[in-house]
C-alpha cells in the first residue's frame, strides 16, 4: 500500500487495464490459401473430366452414327442392286445394256462402291452415295418402263401378227378351197349305151331293149382344166335304175365315197383317168356288167370327182 502511495505514477493510471487483440497468426492464412487452391484444382479437374467424358461420348456417338449411316447406305445399295438383278432376269435384252462396262449403270455402281469401301467416308460422301443410289433406282425405273413399253409393243405386234396370220390362213384356205374347186374335173359328152353282146361277146350291138341289154357302156370326155395338176384322177360313176336304187355289186367294183359336204355316196363304178394339166381327155369308157336282167325304164348316170357331181346323163330301156 505504501508503495502505491509513494509512486506518483500510480495515482494517474486508470483503475482497470484494457484487453489487447492478439496478433494474427500467419499459419491460419496459409491454410485457407491452400484450401482455396485445392478446391480450385478440384473444380478444374472435374470440369476438365466432364468435358473429356462428353467429348468421348460425342466422338463415340459420331462414330456410331457414321457406322450406322454407312450400313444404311450399304443396305440401300444392296436393295437397289436386287431390283436391278430382278429386272435383268426378266429381260435378257436389258441385261446386255445394264452389264455394259462403259454404260451409265456400271459407272454409278463403281462410284457407289468406291465410297462404301472407304472407311473414312465423310457424311458428305455418304450423302453423295445416297444420291447415286437414287440415280441407280431412277435408271432401274427407266428400264422397267422401257420393258413394259416393249412388252406392250410386242403384245400389239403379236396380236397384229395373229390377225395377219389368221387373215393369211383364211386367204390361203380360200385359195386352197378355190383351187380345189377349180381343180375339180368336168365331164362332157356323156353317153350311156345299152350293149347287146353276141357270138360270145365278139360282136356288140347297141340296143334299146331291156331284155337284150347285156351291159351298159358309159362314155364321156374330161374337159381341159388349167388348175388341176397332172396325174391320175379318181372318177366315180353312179348308175340309178328305174326303181331309184343304185346299181351296185362289190364284186364289180362298187363302193362308197364321200361328197364335198361330208356325206356318203354309194357309187356303181370307179375309174382312174390319167390327166395332163390344160389338156382334155377324150373318150373315157366304162362298162357296167350286171348279174341280173335289166328292167325297163330310165337309167340315170352321175359322174363325181373330188366329191362334186361333174356330169350326168340318162338312157331309156324298153
Q: Which of 25-39, 77-91, 119-133, 174-188 has the lowest mean pLDDT?
A: 25-39
Within the chain, where are the H helices? 2-6, 8-12, 26-90, 92-98, 104-117, 123-183
Judge whether 19 lies within some domain: no
Q: Specify the pLDDT at position 8.
A: 47
Domain boundary among 148, 183, 218: 183
Contact 243, 223 (CB under 8 A): no
Question: What confidence tens digit (pLDDT) does each residue in 127-155 have?
Answer: 888 888 888 888 878 877 877 787 788 88
Domain that holds residue 235: 185-317
Assess whether 206 and 118 both reside in one domain: no
Mean pLDDT calculated for residue range 9-33: 57
> Is 102 within a domain?
yes
The model carries a pTM of 0.50
- 179, 189: one domain: no
> Same domain, yes or no, for 94 and 41?
yes
145 in a structural domain = yes
In terms of domains, do 243 and 302 share one?
yes
Beta partners for residue 206, in sequence order: 195
pLDDT digits over 227-270, tens only? 888 999 999 999 999 999 999 999 888 999 999 889 999 999 99
Task: Give yes or no: residues 179 and 298 share one domain.
Answer: no
CATH number of the domain that residue 232 is part of: 2.60.40.10
Residues 52 and 173 both lie in one domain: yes
Lowest mean pLDDT among 35-39, 129-133, 281-285: 35-39
What per-residue confidence (pLDDT) applies to 5? 41
Q: What is the pLDDT of residue 2?
A: 44
Do 169 and 44 reside in the same domain of the chain?
yes
Is 195 in the same domain as 224? yes
- Does 17 reside within a domain? no
Asked whether residue 7 is domain-assigned, the answer is no
In a domain, 5, yes or no: no
Give the confidence band of 283 by pLDDT, cuts at 50, 70, 90. very high
109 vs 139: CA distance, rounded Å: 12
Asked whether residue 159 falls in the same domain as residue 225, the answer is no
pLDDT at position 102:
58
What is the structure's pLDDT at 40?
76
| Whether residues 62 and 149 fall in one domain | yes
Cα distances from 253 to residues 194, 221, 277, in angstroms, run 19, 21, 28
Evaluate if residue 291 carries a pLDDT over 50: yes
Asked if residue 9 has pLDDT above 70, the reply is no
* Domain identity same for 177 and 190: no
Domain termination site, one of 128, 148, 183: 183
Burial degree of 219 (CB within 10 A; 0-12, 13-18, 19+): middle
Q: Is the pLDDT of residue 221 over 50?
A: yes
297 assigned to some structural domain: yes
| Shared domain check, 43 and 152 | yes
Does 14 map to a domain? no
Number of separate domains in the chain: 2
At 166, list the grid cell.
389368221
**Boundary residue ending a domain (166, 183, 200):** 183
Query: In this predicted model, which residue has the larger pLDDT, 55 or 4?
Result: 55
Amino acid at each position: 500500500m505504501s508503495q502505491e502511495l509513494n509512486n506518483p505514477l500510480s495515482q494517474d493510471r486508470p483503475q482497470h487495464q484494457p484487453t489487447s487483440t492478439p496478433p494474427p497468426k500467419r499459419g491460419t492464412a496459409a491454410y485457407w490459401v491452400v484450401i482455396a487452391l485445392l478446391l480450385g484444382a478440384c473444380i478444374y479437374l472435374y470440369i476438365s473430366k466432364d468435358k473429356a467424358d462428353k467429348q468421348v461420348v460425342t466422338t463415340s456417338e459420331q462414330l456410331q452414327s457414321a457406322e450406322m449411316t454407312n450400313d444404311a447406305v450399304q443396305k440401300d445399295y444392296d436393295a437397289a442392286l436386287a431390283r436391278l438383278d430382278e429386272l435383268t432376269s426378266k429381260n435378257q435384252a436389258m441385261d446386255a445394256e445394264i452389264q455394259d462396262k462403259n454404260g451409265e449403270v456400271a459407272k454409278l455402281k463403281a462410284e457407289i462402291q468406291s465410297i462404301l469401301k472407304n472407311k473414312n467416308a465423310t457424311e458428305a460422301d455418304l450423302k453423295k452415295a445416297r444420291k447415286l443410289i437414287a440415280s441407280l433406282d431412277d435408271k432401274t425405273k427407266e428400264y422397267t418402263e422401257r420393258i413394259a413399253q416393249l412388252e406392250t409393243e410386242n403384245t400389239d405386234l403379236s396380236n397384229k401378227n395373229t390377225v395377219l396370220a389368221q387373215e393369211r390362213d383364211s386367204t390361203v384356205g380360200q385359195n386352197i378351197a378355190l383351187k380345189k374347186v377349180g381343180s375339180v374335173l368336168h365331164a362332157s359328152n356323156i353317153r350311156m349305151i345299152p350293149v347287146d353282146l353276141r357270138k360270145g361277146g365278139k360282136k356288140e350291138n347297141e340296143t334299146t331293149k331291156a331284155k337284150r341289154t347285156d351291159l351298159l357302156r358309159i362314155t364321156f370326155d374330161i374337159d381341159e382344166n388349167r388348175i388341176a395338176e397332172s396325174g391320175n384322177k379318181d372318177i366315180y360313176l353312179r348308175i340309178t335304175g328305174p326303181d331309184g336304187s343304185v346299181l351296185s355289186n362289190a364284186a364289180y367294183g362298187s363302193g362308197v365315197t364321200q361328197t364335198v359336204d361330208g356325206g356318203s355316196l354309194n357309187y356303181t363304178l370307179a375309174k382312174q383317168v390319167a390327166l395332163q394339166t390344160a389338156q382334155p381327155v377324150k373318150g373315157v369308157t366304162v362298162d357296167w356288167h350286171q348279174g341280173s336282167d335289166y328292167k325297163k325304164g330310165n337309167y340315170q348316170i352321175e359322174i363325181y370327182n373330188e366329191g362334186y357331181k361333174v356330169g350326168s346323163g340318162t338312157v331309156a330301156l324298153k
